[in-house]
A and B are shown apart, each in its own frame.
Chain A
Amino acid sequence: MSERDDEDLMRAAGKGDAAAFGEIVSRHQAWAWRVAWRFTGDAAEAEDLVQDAFLKVFEAAPRYRAIASFRTYLHRVVTRRCLDWHRKKRPLLSDRIPEPTDPAPQPDAAAQLRDRERRIRSALDELPADQRLAVVLRYYEGLDASTMATAMGRTPKAVERLLARARKALRPRLQTHLG
């Protein structure tokens, strides 16, 4: 028996089929989770954000029309939830990443990685939310300009401008610390 496609599952979910919706969640949660985690930098916040995004999708399922692929639709929902999350809260993420407790002169590989992680996290956190989201979608998820444009409700050119601004802002920090 062939596997049901996402659009078919969404139609079933729209009629109240919770199992069909469960299949949708299983298929797409990893993508949503990675984006939310990279964007927020916090596992608990990312969980809430992903849960919220999928519940929005379920609520809207009766009105869902497959004018684009479900994946495209989900990209849009998740990116909107990320930006909403950013608007509604928030303490600086870099505050939540602990400083290394042992300033050893020759840190081991794990400590170096933690330090690099912290620097990157804090650099990303300094970007405006839309630029940070663009960096996450392009550099961690490999989305091209037109897919990102649909997800973010912008034009491909506007997306590239966001990335150019992020590049300009982060060039000194990333090249000095990571080069």
Chain B
Amino acid sequence: MRCSDVRQCRETLSSGGLPPEGIREVGSHLRTCPACRAVLLADDPLIGVLTAGESPETPAHLALRIQALVRSGRIQEPLPVWDLWGWWRQSPFPAHAAAAATLVLGLAAGFLMGVDSDRGPGPGMVGRPADPLAALALDALADAPAGSLTESYFSLARQTGQGGI
């Protein structure tokens, strides 16, 4: 490769598009031609990485090693993992809408159940057994606002964080 050929490659070296064989030829020229090296590196210093030596040949045993593993059957098809993001990207809009609706309904049901538990026992529930946690007589739970189980846990956690329990 002549100096003029190498200098013509300047653009494609920096922006991509030169095949690896061409790149290797340029690299081999740059290793021995300080003039081209100075010109090309002034524009783009990263071209300097080409003056490193060639990469070694692909090890002859590499393909055999991979094929032996494949043929041995030791490669297991991984158990399917529920890939939520993958599902979302590949699913049509009605599936998105159904998933969103299910999520909203679930949250609403959870919220309503929480509200219901704040009202105390209804007329038909007078004989309902006491909250089993009350039997533990934990002060932290007794202090919980409004007495919902979730809030009790949060109250307990807060006190634990403050060194309470």
Contact = CB atoms under 8 A, between A and B. Distances in A.
Interface residues of A, number: 49
B70 A33 contact: no
A135 interface: yes
Given A120-B51, A139-B47, A55 B70 contact: yes
Interface residues of B, number: 42
Nearest to B69: A55
Interface in A117-140: 117, 120-121, 123-124, 135, 138-140
Contacts, number: 128
B75 to A, nearest CB: 6
Nearest to B78: A59
Contacts of A38: 55
Contacts of B31: 113, 116
A22 B69 contact: no
Given A34-B55, A139-B50, A167-B44, A59 B20 contact: no
Interface stretch (B57-65, B98-106, B112-120): B57-65
B80 to A, nearest CB: 9
B16 interface: yes
B66 A120 contact: no
A178 B27 CA distance: 12
A179 to B, nearest CB: 5
B67 A18 contact: yes
B56 interface: yes
A175 B52 CA distance: 14
A131 B67 CA distance: 32
Interface stretch (A2-10, A43-51, A77-85): A43-51
Given A54-B66, A139-B23, A145-B15, A174 B56 contact: no
A28 to B, nearest CB: 10
A100 interface: no
B74 to A, nearest CB: 10
Contact of A166 (B18, B23, B46, B50): B46
Q: Which 5 A-B pairs have the closest CB atoms?
A: A144-B16, A174-B48, A174-B45, A33-B58, A178-B48
Interface of A: 18, 21-22, 25-26, 29-31, 33-34, 37-38, 43, 47, 50-51, 54-55, 58-59, 62, 113, 116-117, 120-121, 123-124, 135, 138-145, 147-148, 163, 166-167, 170-171, 174-175, 177-179
